[in-house]
Structure 1
Protein backbone atom coordinates (compact mmCIF):
# COMPACT_ATOMS: atom_id res chain seq x y z
CA UNK A 1 0.00 0.00 0.00
CA UNK A 2 1.31 3.45 -0.95
CA UNK A 3 0.84 6.32 1.49
CA UNK A 4 1.40 10.03 0.78
CA UNK A 5 2.15 12.25 3.78
CA UNK A 6 2.07 16.00 3.16
CA UNK A 7 2.94 18.41 5.98
CA UNK A 8 5.28 21.39 6.15
CA UNK A 9 6.39 20.31 9.65
CA UNK A 10 9.42 18.11 8.99
CA UNK A 11 9.27 16.62 12.48
CA UNK A 12 5.71 15.47 11.82
CA UNK A 13 6.45 13.85 8.46
CA UNK A 14 9.54 12.12 9.87
CA UNK A 15 7.61 10.58 12.75
CA UNK A 16 4.67 9.49 10.62
CA UNK A 17 6.97 8.03 7.95
CA UNK A 18 8.67 5.88 10.59
CA UNK A 19 5.34 4.65 11.97
CA UNK A 20 3.84 3.84 8.57
CA UNK A 21 6.97 2.10 7.26
CA UNK A 22 7.12 -0.02 10.40
CA UNK A 23 3.62 -1.25 9.48
CA UNK A 24 4.79 -2.19 5.98
CA UNK A 25 3.46 0.78 4.01
CA UNK A 26 5.41 2.46 1.20
CA UNK A 27 5.64 6.14 2.12
CA UNK A 28 6.16 9.27 0.01
CA UNK A 29 6.61 12.63 1.75
CA UNK A 30 5.82 16.17 0.60
CA UNK A 31 6.41 19.46 2.42
CA UNK A 32 3.90 21.56 0.47
CA UNK A 33 0.74 21.21 -1.59
CA UNK A 34 2.10 21.37 -5.13
CA UNK A 35 4.72 18.74 -4.34
CA UNK A 36 1.99 16.54 -2.86
CA UNK A 37 0.01 16.69 -6.11
CA UNK A 38 3.13 15.96 -8.17
CA UNK A 39 3.68 12.79 -6.14
CA UNK A 40 0.00 11.86 -6.39
CA UNK A 41 0.04 12.10 -10.19
CA UNK A 42 3.34 10.26 -10.55
CA UNK A 43 2.59 7.30 -8.27
CA UNK A 44 -0.34 5.07 -7.40
CA UNK A 45 -1.34 6.48 -4.01
CA UNK A 46 -3.79 4.47 -1.92
CA UNK A 47 -4.20 7.04 0.84
CA UNK A 48 -3.08 10.62 1.43
CA UNK A 49 -2.49 12.19 4.85
CA UNK A 50 -2.70 15.96 4.32
CA UNK A 51 -2.05 18.84 6.68
CA UNK A 52 -4.60 21.63 6.27
CA UNK A 53 -2.11 24.53 6.33
CA UNK A 54 0.67 24.09 3.76
CA UNK A 55 2.58 26.46 1.44
CA UNK A 56 1.53 26.99 -2.20
CA UNK A 57 -1.56 24.80 -1.98
CA UNK A 58 -3.46 24.01 1.20
CA UNK A 59 -4.38 20.49 2.21
CA UNK A 60 -7.99 21.34 1.41
CA UNK A 61 -7.04 22.32 -2.16
CA UNK A 62 -4.99 19.13 -2.56
CA UNK A 63 -7.83 17.02 -1.16
CA UNK A 64 -10.33 18.63 -3.53
CA UNK A 65 -8.06 17.91 -6.54
CA UNK A 66 -7.44 14.30 -5.49
CA UNK A 67 -11.13 13.63 -5.00
CA UNK A 68 -11.99 15.10 -8.42
CA UNK A 69 -9.95 12.49 -10.24
CA UNK A 70 -9.76 9.43 -7.98
CA UNK A 71 -11.19 7.32 -5.17
CA UNK A 72 -8.02 7.71 -3.11
CA UNK A 73 -8.71 7.93 0.61
CA UNK A 74 -7.77 11.22 2.31
CA UNK A 75 -7.09 12.00 5.95
CA UNK A 76 -6.97 15.69 6.91
CA UNK A 77 -4.70 16.77 9.75
CA UNK A 78 -5.23 20.16 11.33
CA UNK A 79 -4.61 22.28 14.40
CA UNK A 80 -7.98 23.92 13.75
CA UNK A 81 -10.62 23.08 16.33
CA UNK A 82 -13.77 24.51 14.79
CA UNK A 83 -16.59 22.14 13.87
CA UNK A 84 -17.13 24.29 10.79
CA UNK A 85 -13.62 23.40 9.59
CA UNK A 86 -14.34 19.71 10.08
CA UNK A 87 -17.55 20.13 8.09
CA UNK A 88 -15.65 21.84 5.24
CA UNK A 89 -13.05 19.05 5.09
CA UNK A 90 -15.62 16.26 5.08
CA UNK A 91 -17.87 18.13 2.68
CA UNK A 92 -15.18 18.30 -0.03
CA UNK A 93 -14.56 14.57 0.26
CA UNK A 94 -12.05 13.95 3.06
CA UNK A 95 -12.61 10.50 4.55
CA UNK A 96 -11.25 11.31 8.00
CA UNK A 97 -10.47 14.45 10.02
CA UNK A 98 -7.91 14.37 12.86
CA UNK A 99 -7.04 17.28 15.10
CA UNK A 100 -3.46 17.92 16.22
CA UNK A 101 -1.89 16.90 18.50
CA UNK A 102 -2.70 13.20 18.09
CA UNK A 103 -1.19 9.80 18.80
CA UNK A 104 0.35 8.37 15.58
CA UNK A 105 -0.79 4.90 16.65
CA UNK A 106 -4.40 6.04 16.50
CA UNK A 107 -3.84 7.41 13.00
CA UNK A 108 -2.32 4.07 11.93
CA UNK A 109 -5.33 2.14 13.25
CA UNK A 110 -7.79 4.43 11.47
CA UNK A 111 -5.85 4.19 8.22
CA UNK A 112 -5.77 0.39 8.42
CA UNK A 113 -9.53 0.28 8.90
CA UNK A 114 -10.07 2.67 5.99
CA UNK A 115 -7.90 0.56 3.70
CA UNK A 116 -9.15 -2.77 5.01
CA UNK A 117 -5.61 -3.87 5.90
CA UNK A 118 -6.07 -4.48 9.62
CA UNK A 119 -6.11 -8.19 8.81
CA UNK A 120 -2.92 -8.02 6.73
CA UNK A 121 0.44 -8.51 8.45
CA UNK A 122 3.74 -7.71 6.72
CA UNK A 123 7.11 -8.92 8.00
CA UNK A 124 9.96 -8.22 5.62
CA UNK A 125 9.11 -10.12 2.40
CA UNK A 126 6.31 -12.08 4.08
CA UNK A 127 2.59 -11.21 4.11
CA UNK A 128 0.04 -12.98 6.29
CA UNK A 129 -3.64 -12.43 5.54
CA UNK A 130 -5.32 -13.29 8.83
CA UNK A 131 -8.75 -13.19 7.24
CA UNK A 132 -8.23 -15.46 4.24
CA UNK A 133 -5.52 -17.45 6.06
CA UNK A 134 -3.18 -17.14 3.11
CA UNK A 135 0.55 -16.45 3.30
CA UNK A 136 2.65 -14.80 0.59
CA UNK A 137 6.41 -14.58 0.17
CA UNK A 138 7.57 -11.98 -2.36
CA UNK A 139 3.90 -11.86 -3.49
CA UNK A 140 3.84 -15.63 -4.20
CA UNK A 141 1.15 -17.73 -2.52
CA UNK A 142 2.98 -20.27 -0.36
CA UNK A 143 0.03 -22.70 -0.10
CA UNK A 144 0.61 -23.74 3.50
CA UNK A 145 -1.11 -26.77 4.97
CA UNK A 146 -3.65 -26.08 7.72
CA UNK A 147 -1.24 -27.14 10.46
CA UNK A 148 1.59 -25.07 8.97
CA UNK A 149 -0.64 -22.00 8.85
CA UNK A 150 -1.98 -22.60 12.38
CA UNK A 151 1.58 -22.86 13.68
CA UNK A 152 2.61 -19.66 11.92
CA UNK A 153 -0.41 -17.68 13.14
CA UNK A 154 0.06 -18.94 16.70
CA UNK A 155 3.77 -18.10 16.74
CA UNK A 156 3.03 -14.66 15.29
CA UNK A 157 0.25 -13.92 17.80
CA UNK A 158 2.57 -14.99 20.63
CA UNK A 159 5.63 -13.16 19.28
CA UNK A 160 8.07 -12.32 22.03
CA UNK A 161 7.25 -15.60 23.78
CA UNK A 162 8.98 -18.96 23.57
CA UNK A 163 6.42 -21.72 23.00
CA UNK A 164 7.35 -25.24 24.05
CA UNK A 165 6.61 -28.24 21.87
CA UNK A 166 3.93 -29.36 24.34
CA UNK A 167 2.28 -25.94 24.15
CA UNK A 168 2.29 -26.00 20.37
CA UNK A 169 0.92 -29.55 20.33
CA UNK A 170 -1.97 -28.70 22.64
CA UNK A 171 -2.86 -25.41 20.93
CA UNK A 172 -2.52 -26.60 17.30
CA UNK A 173 -3.20 -30.35 17.43
CA UNK A 174 -5.50 -30.33 20.47
CA UNK A 175 -5.29 -31.59 24.03
CA UNK A 176 -6.36 -35.10 23.01
CA UNK A 177 -3.54 -35.52 20.46
CA UNK A 178 -1.55 -38.69 21.24
CA UNK A 179 1.31 -38.27 18.77
CA UNK A 180 4.95 -37.42 19.46
CA UNK A 181 6.52 -34.02 20.08
CA UNK A 182 8.67 -34.57 16.99
CA UNK A 183 5.56 -33.85 14.93
CA UNK A 184 6.04 -30.19 15.88
CA UNK A 185 9.67 -30.22 14.69
CA UNK A 186 8.66 -31.77 11.37
CA UNK A 187 5.99 -29.15 10.70
CA UNK A 188 8.24 -26.30 11.85
CA UNK A 189 10.91 -27.45 9.41
CA UNK A 190 8.38 -27.59 6.56
CA UNK A 191 7.12 -24.15 7.53
CA UNK A 192 10.67 -22.76 7.53
CA UNK A 193 11.35 -24.23 4.11
CA UNK A 194 8.40 -22.23 2.77
CA UNK A 195 8.54 -18.91 4.65
CA UNK A 196 12.28 -18.70 5.30
CA UNK A 197 14.27 -20.08 8.23
CA UNK A 198 14.89 -16.65 9.76
CA UNK A 199 11.20 -16.19 10.70
CA UNK A 200 11.19 -18.95 13.34
CA UNK A 201 13.84 -19.15 16.06
CA UNK A 202 14.77 -22.41 17.78
CA UNK A 203 15.50 -22.19 21.50
CA UNK A 204 17.27 -25.42 22.36
CA UNK A 205 15.57 -27.34 25.14
CA UNK A 206 12.82 -24.73 25.33
CA UNK A 207 10.86 -24.44 22.08
CA UNK A 208 10.24 -21.95 19.29
CA UNK A 209 9.49 -18.25 18.89
CA UNK A 210 8.56 -15.95 16.03
CA UNK A 211 11.16 -13.50 14.75
CA UNK A 212 9.62 -10.19 13.56
CA UNK A 213 12.85 -8.20 13.67
CA UNK A 214 14.11 -6.47 10.52
CA UNK A 215 17.60 -7.93 10.55
Structure 2
Protein backbone atom coordinates (compact mmCIF):
# COMPACT_ATOMS: atom_id res chain seq x y z
CA UNK A 1 0.00 0.00 0.00
CA UNK A 2 1.30 3.45 -0.94
CA UNK A 3 0.94 6.09 1.76
CA UNK A 4 1.50 9.83 1.46
CA UNK A 5 2.59 11.33 4.79
CA UNK A 6 2.66 15.14 4.97
CA UNK A 7 3.90 16.76 8.20
CA UNK A 8 6.04 19.89 8.63
CA UNK A 9 7.60 18.78 11.94
CA UNK A 10 10.67 16.75 10.96
CA UNK A 11 10.80 14.59 14.09
CA UNK A 12 7.10 13.72 13.95
CA UNK A 13 7.46 12.94 10.25
CA UNK A 14 10.29 10.46 10.88
CA UNK A 15 8.53 8.81 13.82
CA UNK A 16 5.31 8.27 11.88
CA UNK A 17 7.20 7.13 8.80
CA UNK A 18 8.97 4.45 10.87
CA UNK A 19 5.68 3.19 12.27
CA UNK A 20 4.05 2.95 8.86
CA UNK A 21 7.06 1.27 7.23
CA UNK A 22 7.11 -1.32 10.01
CA UNK A 23 3.46 -1.98 9.25
CA UNK A 24 4.39 -2.71 5.62
CA UNK A 25 3.43 0.57 3.92
CA UNK A 26 5.45 2.13 1.12
CA UNK A 27 5.74 5.71 2.46
CA UNK A 28 6.20 8.98 0.54
CA UNK A 29 6.93 11.97 2.78
CA UNK A 30 6.31 15.70 2.30
CA UNK A 31 7.08 18.74 4.46
CA UNK A 32 4.48 21.07 2.95
CA UNK A 33 1.25 21.07 0.96
CA UNK A 34 2.80 21.72 -2.46
CA UNK A 35 5.24 18.83 -2.09
CA UNK A 36 2.38 16.60 -0.93
CA UNK A 37 0.36 17.33 -4.07
CA UNK A 38 3.39 16.79 -6.30
CA UNK A 39 3.88 13.34 -4.78
CA UNK A 40 0.17 12.60 -5.07
CA UNK A 41 0.12 13.40 -8.79
CA UNK A 42 3.28 11.38 -9.48
CA UNK A 43 2.45 8.22 -7.55
CA UNK A 44 -0.52 5.93 -7.02
CA UNK A 45 -1.49 6.83 -3.45
CA UNK A 46 -3.86 4.65 -1.44
CA UNK A 47 -4.00 6.82 1.69
CA UNK A 48 -2.91 10.40 2.41
CA UNK A 49 -2.18 11.32 6.04
CA UNK A 50 -2.02 15.12 6.13
CA UNK A 51 -1.20 17.59 8.88
CA UNK A 52 -3.74 20.42 8.85
CA UNK A 53 -1.26 23.24 9.52
CA UNK A 54 1.54 23.17 6.93
CA UNK A 55 3.47 25.90 5.10
CA UNK A 56 1.86 27.00 1.85
CA UNK A 57 -1.19 24.87 1.18
CA UNK A 58 -2.86 23.55 4.31
CA UNK A 59 -3.76 19.92 4.81
CA UNK A 60 -7.41 20.78 4.26
CA UNK A 61 -6.62 22.42 0.91
CA UNK A 62 -4.56 19.41 -0.15
CA UNK A 63 -7.38 17.11 0.99
CA UNK A 64 -9.93 19.05 -1.04
CA UNK A 65 -7.84 18.80 -4.23
CA UNK A 66 -7.14 15.10 -3.72
CA UNK A 67 -10.83 14.41 -3.25
CA UNK A 68 -11.77 16.48 -6.31
CA UNK A 69 -9.59 14.31 -8.54
CA UNK A 70 -9.59 10.83 -6.97
CA UNK A 71 -11.09 8.38 -4.51
CA UNK A 72 -7.94 8.26 -2.40
CA UNK A 73 -8.60 8.02 1.34
CA UNK A 74 -7.53 11.06 3.39
CA UNK A 75 -6.82 11.25 7.12
CA UNK A 76 -6.23 14.68 8.65
CA UNK A 77 -4.00 15.34 11.68
CA UNK A 78 -4.58 18.47 13.71
CA UNK A 79 -4.09 20.16 17.06
CA UNK A 80 -7.43 21.87 16.59
CA UNK A 81 -10.01 20.51 19.03
CA UNK A 82 -13.24 22.34 18.28
CA UNK A 83 -16.20 20.46 16.85
CA UNK A 84 -16.60 23.13 14.15
CA UNK A 85 -13.04 22.45 12.97
CA UNK A 86 -13.70 18.73 12.71
CA UNK A 87 -16.88 19.40 10.78
CA UNK A 88 -14.96 21.71 8.44
CA UNK A 89 -12.39 18.99 7.76
CA UNK A 90 -15.02 16.36 7.10
CA UNK A 91 -16.89 18.71 4.78
CA UNK A 92 -13.64 19.19 2.87
CA UNK A 93 -13.72 15.49 2.12
CA UNK A 94 -11.57 14.00 4.89
CA UNK A 95 -12.42 10.36 5.63
CA UNK A 96 -10.96 10.48 9.13
CA UNK A 97 -9.80 13.10 11.63
CA UNK A 98 -7.22 12.53 14.42
CA UNK A 99 -6.47 15.13 17.07
CA UNK A 100 -2.95 15.76 18.36
CA UNK A 101 -1.41 14.53 20.57
CA UNK A 102 -2.13 10.92 19.65
CA UNK A 103 -0.64 7.46 20.08
CA UNK A 104 0.90 6.36 16.74
CA UNK A 105 -0.65 2.94 17.28
CA UNK A 106 -4.09 4.53 17.24
CA UNK A 107 -3.21 6.31 14.00
CA UNK A 108 -2.11 3.00 12.47
CA UNK A 109 -5.36 1.37 13.55
CA UNK A 110 -7.38 4.19 11.97
CA UNK A 111 -5.34 3.90 8.75
CA UNK A 112 -5.84 0.13 8.59
CA UNK A 113 -9.58 0.57 9.12
CA UNK A 114 -9.83 3.17 6.34
CA UNK A 115 -8.07 0.83 3.93
CA UNK A 116 -9.97 -2.22 5.12
CA UNK A 117 -6.64 -3.92 5.73
CA UNK A 118 -8.22 -6.58 7.92
CA UNK A 119 -9.38 -8.02 4.61
CA UNK A 120 -5.76 -8.38 3.50
CA UNK A 121 -3.05 -10.95 4.02
CA UNK A 122 0.50 -9.62 4.19
CA UNK A 123 3.55 -11.78 3.50
CA UNK A 124 6.68 -9.64 3.52
CA UNK A 125 6.15 -7.01 0.84
CA UNK A 126 3.35 -9.01 -0.76
CA UNK A 127 -0.28 -8.09 -0.06
CA UNK A 128 -3.21 -10.34 -0.94
CA UNK A 129 -6.29 -8.12 -1.04
CA UNK A 130 -9.15 -10.52 -0.33
CA UNK A 131 -11.87 -7.96 -0.99
CA UNK A 132 -10.38 -6.40 -4.12
CA UNK A 133 -9.12 -9.79 -5.35
CA UNK A 134 -5.72 -8.36 -6.21
CA UNK A 135 -2.11 -9.13 -5.37
CA UNK A 136 0.33 -6.31 -4.65
CA UNK A 137 4.11 -6.38 -4.47
CA UNK A 138 5.74 -3.33 -2.87
CA UNK A 139 2.51 -1.43 -3.49
CA UNK A 140 2.31 -2.38 -7.20
CA UNK A 141 -0.71 -4.22 -8.56
CA UNK A 142 0.62 -7.42 -10.17
CA UNK A 143 -2.42 -7.73 -12.45
CA UNK A 144 -3.00 -11.31 -11.34
CA UNK A 145 -5.58 -13.34 -13.23
CA UNK A 146 -8.59 -14.77 -11.39
CA UNK A 147 -6.98 -18.22 -11.14
CA UNK A 148 -3.63 -16.76 -10.01
CA UNK A 149 -5.39 -14.78 -7.31
CA UNK A 150 -7.37 -17.80 -6.09
CA UNK A 151 -4.19 -19.90 -5.98
CA UNK A 152 -2.36 -17.21 -4.03
CA UNK A 153 -5.31 -16.78 -1.66
CA UNK A 154 -5.46 -20.48 -0.84
CA UNK A 155 -1.69 -20.73 -0.41
CA UNK A 156 -1.68 -17.60 1.78
CA UNK A 157 -4.52 -18.85 3.98
CA UNK A 158 -2.51 -22.04 4.47
CA UNK A 159 0.89 -20.34 4.71
CA UNK A 160 3.64 -22.68 5.88
CA UNK A 161 1.60 -25.79 5.11
CA UNK A 162 2.01 -28.12 2.15
CA UNK A 163 -1.04 -28.19 -0.11
CA UNK A 164 -1.40 -30.84 -2.78
CA UNK A 165 -2.23 -30.30 -6.41
CA UNK A 166 -5.58 -32.04 -5.81
CA UNK A 167 -6.40 -29.60 -2.99
CA UNK A 168 -5.60 -26.64 -5.25
CA UNK A 169 -7.69 -28.08 -8.10
CA UNK A 170 -10.67 -28.60 -5.80
CA UNK A 171 -10.46 -25.13 -4.26
CA UNK A 172 -9.64 -23.09 -7.38
CA UNK A 173 -11.10 -25.03 -10.29
CA UNK A 174 -13.91 -26.75 -8.39
CA UNK A 175 -14.68 -30.29 -7.32
CA UNK A 176 -16.25 -31.08 -10.69
CA UNK A 177 -13.09 -30.22 -12.67
CA UNK A 178 -12.01 -33.09 -14.94
CA UNK A 179 -9.24 -31.45 -16.96
CA UNK A 180 -5.48 -31.96 -16.88
CA UNK A 181 -4.12 -31.69 -13.33
CA UNK A 182 -0.91 -30.18 -14.68
CA UNK A 183 -2.74 -26.92 -15.26
CA UNK A 184 -1.93 -26.22 -11.59
CA UNK A 185 1.80 -26.37 -12.35
CA UNK A 186 1.39 -23.95 -15.25
CA UNK A 187 -0.48 -21.43 -13.12
CA UNK A 188 1.97 -21.81 -10.23
CA UNK A 189 4.82 -21.08 -12.64
CA UNK A 190 3.08 -17.93 -13.89
CA UNK A 191 2.26 -16.85 -10.33
CA UNK A 192 5.92 -17.25 -9.36
CA UNK A 193 6.95 -15.04 -12.26
CA UNK A 194 4.78 -12.25 -10.84
CA UNK A 195 5.36 -12.51 -7.10
CA UNK A 196 8.99 -13.67 -7.25
CA UNK A 197 10.59 -17.11 -7.07
CA UNK A 198 11.31 -16.99 -3.33
CA UNK A 199 7.80 -17.43 -1.98
CA UNK A 200 6.38 -20.71 -3.27
CA UNK A 201 8.37 -23.85 -2.49
CA UNK A 202 7.86 -27.14 -4.28
CA UNK A 203 7.89 -30.30 -2.17
CA UNK A 204 8.53 -33.17 -4.54
CA UNK A 205 5.88 -35.86 -4.40
CA UNK A 206 3.81 -33.77 -1.98
CA UNK A 207 2.77 -30.34 -3.21
CA UNK A 208 3.43 -26.63 -2.77
CA UNK A 209 3.84 -24.34 0.20
CA UNK A 210 3.87 -20.56 0.56
CA UNK A 211 6.87 -19.79 2.78
CA UNK A 212 7.27 -16.65 4.87
CA UNK A 213 11.05 -16.51 4.59
CA UNK A 214 13.62 -16.60 1.78
CA UNK A 215 13.84 -19.92 -0.02
CA UNK A 216 16.71 -19.21 -2.40
CA UNK A 217 18.85 -22.25 -3.17
CA UNK A 218 16.63 -24.43 -0.99
CA UNK A 219 14.03 -24.55 -3.76
CA UNK A 220 13.78 -28.13 -4.91
CA UNK A 221 12.12 -27.09 -8.12
CA UNK A 222 12.16 -23.33 -8.77
CA UNK A 223 10.62 -23.68 -12.24
CA UNK A 224 7.30 -24.80 -10.78
CA UNK A 225 7.23 -28.25 -12.41
CA UNK A 226 4.92 -30.92 -11.09
CA UNK A 227 5.52 -31.82 -7.41
CA UNK A 228 4.69 -35.41 -8.27
CA UNK A 229 7.61 -35.93 -10.63
Unmatched 5+ stretches in structure 1: none
Q: How far apart in 1 are the matches of 2:177 and 2:3?
A: 49
Cα drift, residue 200 of structure 1: 1.2
Residue in 1 that maps onto 2:16: 12
Cα distance 1:68–1:201, how it changes in 2: closer, same or farther (>3 A)?
Answer: closer
Cα drift, residue 6 of structure 1: 1.4
Count of aligned residue pairs for this structure pair: 195
Cα drift, residue 12 of structure 1: 1.8
Q: How far apart in 2 are the matches of 1:98 and 1:203?
A: 48
Unmatched 5+ stretches in structure 2: 216-229
Cα distance 1:175–1:153, how it changes in 2: closer, same or farther (>3 A)?
Answer: closer
Q: How far apart in 2 are the matches of 1:28 and 1:82?
A: 30
Residue in 1 that maps onto 2:109: 106
- Aligned-residue CA RMSD (Å): 4.4
Cα distance 1:96–1:140, how it changes in 2: closer, same or farther (>3 A)?
Answer: closer
Cα distance 1:81–1:210, how it changes in 2: closer, same or farther (>3 A)?
Answer: farther
Alignment partner for residue 35 of structure 2, among 20, 35, 38?
Answer: 38
User: How high is the TM-score relative to the length of structure 1?
Assistant: 0.62
Contact 1:126 1:195 in 2 (8 A): no
Q: How far apart in 1 are the matches of 2:177 and 2:184?
A: 18
Contact 2:154 2:168 in 1 (8 A): no
Q: How far apart in 1 are the matches of 2:16 and 2:172?
A: 47
Cα drift, residue 155 of structure 1: 0.5
Secondary structure at the aligned position of 2:94 is classed as coil
Matches within 5 A, 1:1-215: 2-7=2-7, 8=9, 9=12, 10-19=14-23, 22-23=24-25, 25=26, 27-31=27-31, 35-41=32-38, 43-44=40-41, 46=45, 47-54=47-54, 56=55, 61-68=58-65, 70-72=68-70, 73-78=73-78, 81-99=81-99, 100-101=102-103, 102-113=105-116, 130=130, 141=143, 143=145, 146=147, 149-159=149-159, 161-165=160-164, 168=167, 172=171, 183=181, 186-196=182-192, 197-203=197-203, 207-211=207-211
Cα drift, residue 136 of structure 1: 8.4
Q: How far apart in 2 are the matches of 1:14 and 1:51?
A: 17
